[in-house]
């Protein structure tokens, strides 16, 4: 999902993708990271949010990402 001009991360966007291991959201227009967005992504190992316009990240946004190995902001 890189380079898609995504600006809003709805908390329900990946709700049903419980086995998601790699998520690349780089080079978008994301400004805000909601604390519930990654709540169901417990198997996520790689997350790339680099090259966005992030201005605010809610507390505990990455709390449930216990398997995260790589994280790019």
Give, rounded to a whole angstrom, the gap between the first and last alpha carbons of the chain.
15
Whole-number Å distance between alpha carbons of 25 and 48: 6
Calculate the CA 65 to chain-centre distance.
Answer: 10
CB 35 within 8 A of CB 9: no
SS3 content of the chain, % helix, strand, coil (to 5): 0, 20, 80
Q: What is the pLDDT of residues 35-70, one digit of tens each?
A: 888 888 899 999 999 999 999 999 999 999 999 999
Range 5-18 average pLDDT: 82
**pLDDT beyond 80 at 11:** no
Q: Over pLDDT 90: what percentage of the chain?
A: 62
For residue 33, what is the enclosing H or E element? strand 32-33
User: What's the whole-model pTM score?
Assistant: 0.88
Give the pLDDT of residue 36.
86
Query: What pLDDT, on a 0 to 100 scale, did the predictor assign at position 23?
Result: 93
């Amino acid at each position: 999902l890189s380079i898609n001009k995504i600006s809003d991360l709805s908390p329900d966007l990946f709700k049903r993708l419980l086995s998601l291991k790699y998520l690349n959201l780089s080079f978008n227009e994301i400004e805000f990271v909601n604390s519930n967005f990654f709540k169901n992504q417990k198997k996520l190992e790689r997350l790339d949010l680099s090259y966005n316009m992030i201005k605010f990240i809610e507390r505990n946004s990455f709390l449930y990402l216990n398997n995260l190995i790589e994280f790019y902001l």
